[in-house]
């Protein structure tokens, strides 16, 4: 069992903050495959770890179930859902279209701080490619998704994009890890992602968010095709 996660000290976290802390932690663990598909999550263990009662924890589990990451099985408990690329095809189709809208709807004003954030993640991505660490790849991929969505102030677009992203976030590692050529495939994915980050960063540097959206759209579409081939799909 994981070590207990303490609430922030010297501050009142509040109900909403506590909910978000637990929700984001569990969602990340599911998408990093720390909780493998089919794993059972025990409410009492999680409540002890996060230092909360089971009531707020259940609210988090209900939300994750509504997002398709968990399912409740009568007589068994809360189970991490499995994922299949063919069942996620329509999710990918919508993600592809929404990516382009990020560059078009309610775009933010690009300033030096925003450019620096993209440059920083580009440098970390370069280091990740050299290190070849799958977990670091997953972490940076998630961070980059959230950074990319800050290019729009359209809150409904950001919310829908986030939900769809986390529905598909674990599919590549799950698919690739079952193949004999896992290391080779993963390295190719590293390099492809590195190129995506570099191209989007360049677009942001030039203040061209429409171009950034086009790049993101193309890479999501290519990623979907690569995963489908790797999993033996059409």
List the chain domain ranges: 14-80, 89-230
89-230: CATH number: 1.20.120.530
Residue 27 in tokens: 């969602």
Place of tokens 């701080």: 113
Average pLDDT over residues 194-217: 98
Query: Lowest mean pLDDT: which of 15-24, 99-108, 215-224?
Result: 15-24
In tens, the pLDDT along 168-202 reads 999 887 876 665 566 777 788 889 999 999 999 99
- What secondary structure, in 3-state letters, does 55-108 show? HHHHHHHHHHHHCCCEEEECCCEEEECCCCCCCCHHHHHHHHHHHHHHCCCCEC
In tens, the pLDDT along 128-181 reads 988 888 888 889 999 999 999 999 999 999 999 999 999 999 988 787 666 556
Sequence-distant contacts of 120-126: CB under 8 A, at least 24 apart: 121/147, 121/197, 121/201, 122/197, 122/198, 122/201, 125/193, 125/194, 125/197, 125/198, 126/194
What pLDDT does 189 receive? 86
Residue 141 in tokens: 């991929």
Contact predicate 98/161, CB 8 Å: yes
- Average pLDDT in the chain: 89
Q: What DSSP state is assigned to residue 152?
A: B
What pLDDT does 234 receive? 58
Return all residues near 110 (Cβ < 8 A) that are at least 6 apart.
Answer: 204, 207, 209
Domains 14-80 and 89-230 fall in the same CATH topology: no
Give the pTM: 0.88
Return all residues near 118 (Cβ < 8 A) that are at least 6 apart.
Answer: 147, 197, 200, 201, 204, 205
In tens, the pLDDT along 18-29 reads 899 999 999 999
14-80: CATH number: 1.10.10.10
């Amino acid at each position: 069992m994981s070590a207990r996660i303490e609430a922030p000290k010297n501050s009142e976290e509040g109900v909403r903050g506590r909910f978000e802390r637990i929700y984001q932690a569990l969602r990340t663990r599911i998408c990093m495959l720390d909780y493998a598909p089919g794993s059972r999550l025990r409410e009492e263990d999680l409540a002890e770890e996060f230092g909360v009662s089971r009531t707020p924890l259940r609210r988090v589990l209900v939300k994750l179930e509504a997002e398709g990451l968990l399912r409740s099985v009568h007589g068994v408990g809360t189970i991490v859902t499995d994922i299949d690329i063919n069942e996620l095809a329509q999710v990918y189709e919508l993600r592809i279209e929404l990516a382009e809208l990020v560059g078009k709807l309610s775009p933010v004003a690009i300033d030096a701080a925003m450019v620096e954030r993209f440059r920083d993640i580009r440098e970390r991505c370069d280091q990740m490619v050299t290190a070849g660490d799958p977990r670091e790849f997953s972490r940076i991929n998630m961070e980059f998704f959230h950074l990319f969505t800050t290019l729009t102030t359209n809150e409904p677009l950001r919310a829908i994009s986030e939900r769809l992203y986390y529905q598909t976030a674990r599919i590549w590692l799950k698919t690739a890890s079952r193949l004999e050529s896992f290391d080779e495939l993963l390295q190719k994915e590293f390099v492809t992602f590195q190129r995506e980050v570099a191209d989007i960063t360049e677009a942001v540097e030039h203040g061209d968010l429409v171009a950034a959206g086009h790049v993101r759209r193309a890479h999501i579409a290519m990623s979907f095709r690569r995963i489908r081939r790797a999993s033996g799909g059409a």
